[in-house]
Structure 1
Amino acid sequence: MRAPSTRLPVLPRLALALALAAAAAPGPSRAEPRDAALVTVFVDNAKVIRLPEKTATVVVGNPLIADVTLQKNGVLVLTGKSFGTTNLIAMDGTGTMLAESMVRVEAPQASVVTVQRGAEERNSYSCTPNCQPAMQLGDSTKYFSDVSGQADARRKLASGQGSEQPTR
Structure 2
Amino acid sequence: MTTRPRRILSLLALITLVFGAGSVRAADTGNIIGVAVDHARILEIDRPAATVIVGNPAIVDIEVLSSERLVLTGKNYGITNVVILDASGDTILDEQVAVQTFEASTVRVYRQANRLTYACAPKCEPTVTIGDNSDGFLQATQQYQTRQQMAADAARR
Distance 1:148 1:115, change over 3 A: same
Larger radius of gyration: 1
Aligned pairs for 1:1-168 (under 5 A) are 36-119=30-113, 121-160=114-153
Q: Give the deviation of 1:44 after TM superposition.
A: 0.5
Q: Which 4+ stretches in 1 moved above 3 angstroms?
A: none
- 1:31-54 CA-to-partner distances (Å, cap 9, x unmatched) read xxxx85432111011111113413
Give the Cα separation in 1 of the matches to 2:140 and 2:155. Answer: 17
- In structure 2, runs of 5+ residues without a counterpart are 1-28
* CA distance in structure 1 between the aligned counterparts of 2:131 and 2:110, rounded to whole angstroms: 11
Greater strand proportion: 2
Q: How many residues align?
A: 128
Instruction: Tell me how far apart the structure 1 counterparts of residues 30 and 52 of structure 2 sit (CA, whole Å).
Output: 15
CA–CA separation in structure 2 for the residues paired with 1:74 and 1:161: 40
Q: Deviations over 1:85-135 (max 9, x none)?
A: 21111112343212122211111111111112222x211001221111011
TM-score with structure 1 setting the length: 0.68
RMSD, aligned α-carbons? 2.1
Contact 2:50-2:67 at 8 Å conserved across structures: no
Structure with a larger share of its residues in helix: 2
User: Shift of residue 161 of structure 1?
Assistant: 6.5
SS of equivalent residue, structure 2 residue 141: helix
